Structure formats: C-alpha cells, structure tokens
Amino acid sequence: MLHLRNDTRDAPALLTHFQDPRVTEYMDIDPFTRTEEAEDVIGWAESLRAAAQGVRWAIHEKGRDGEAGNFLGTCGFNTLVYERARRGEVAYDLTPAHWGKGVMAEIMPQLIALAAGPLALRRLEAMVTPGNTRSIRLLERHGFEQEGLLRQHAYWKGRFWDQLIFGQVLGGNGSGGGT
C-alpha cells in the first residue's frame, strides 16, 4: 500500500526526483537545478487545490505506523473542470528506480475511484507526449482509450510538441449525448 501526501516536507525529494532527465524527458519542464523549483511545484499544487481546479500528491511507500516512507513520485489531477463539464486531467510521474514495479498499478485505480466517487467526475483525460510508451501502456491497461493526436499542441523546451489525448468515461455508456 502506498501513502499520498502534499506538503513542503517533500521539497528535497521532489528536487532530486525532477533533477533526473529521465523523469522530465516527456514533461513540460527541464530537469531541476534549484530547491526553489521544487518549492514552486509544491506551491502550484497548493494553489490548484485552494482554487478547486486540481489536486496533486506525493507518492510514498507506506512507512512504519502508516507514516510516509520513501518518495516514489507524484500523481493527481492537473485540472478539474466542473463548469459545463465534469472532467479531470490525470497526471503522474515516478522515479526511474520504481518504473515497472507496480506502483502505478496500485495508484491508478485509486485515482479513478476518487474521480468517479468524491470528485464526481464524468470523464478522465490524460495528455501523453508521443514516444512515452510506458505511460501509453499504463493508461490502456486502466481503461483509457487513445482519442486522437493534437498536432503541435504544446510548447516547451524551445519547441512545439504533439500530444496524444487519452480519455475514459466514468459510468454510463460513454455515448456522450447529454440530457
């Protein structure tokens, strides 16, 4: 079982995590070089939560007495949209030492259950940079379908990037329609 939390105690581990170019390869950030960058990410996550526009957590191994153990990565919803929609963008990243070890196989069902339950979302989305096959396989294993390619959709690291959009409708028949 994993432990999720969101607070400033994770800044040193977050700095180390995002210093690794393997972690940031498909992300819209360069590898971190300063503690302030990790603190900025925590501040961003706190502002998302405060505005009810998203929520992010640090993923930790479950330590003794239910306390947080080793830092493994982050996960959550980069956006939550309730006006004229009920959708969220799921996002995640793991330290390379934990790739392929089942961490996200444990986390993803929790995120989906949170979306379908307390967050009352109808749709989940995920944006994936082409080439990120690990992320694509993870999403497909958990019921997401690739819905399209958004050409030149994003700009970071000095260039435009295509993005694959994956989606999952929670509950119902997924036909859209609307009533």
Task: Flag whether 20 is in a domain.
Answer: yes
Task: Flag whether 111 is in a domain.
Answer: yes
Round the CA-based radius of gyration of the chain to a whole number and report it: 16
Per-residue confidence (pLDDT) for residue 179, from 0 to 100: 41
Range of the domain at 101: 2-124
User: Which domain CATH number covers 8?
Assistant: 3.40.630.30
How many domains are there within the chain? 1
Q: Which residues pair with 69 in a beta bridge?
A: none
Task: Flag whether 110 is in a domain.
Answer: yes
Query: Which 8-state DSSP code applies to residue 28?
Result: S
Distance CA 63, CA 66 (A): 6
Average pLDDT value for residue range 62-90: 90
Predicted confidence (pLDDT) at residue 163 exceeds the cutoff of 80 = yes
Predicted confidence (pLDDT) at residue 18 exceeds the cutoff of 80 = yes
156 and 26 Cβ atoms separated by less than 8 Å:
no
In this predicted model, which residue has the larger pLDDT, 6 or 140? 140
Task: Flag whether 54 is in a domain.
Answer: yes
Task: Flag whether 136 is in a domain.
Answer: no
pTM of the full structure:
0.89
Predicted confidence (pLDDT) at residue 158 exceeds the cutoff of 80 = yes
Predicted confidence (pLDDT) at residue 170 exceeds the cutoff of 90 = yes
Task: Flag whether 149 is in a domain.
Answer: no
Task: Flag whether 174 is in a domain.
Answer: no
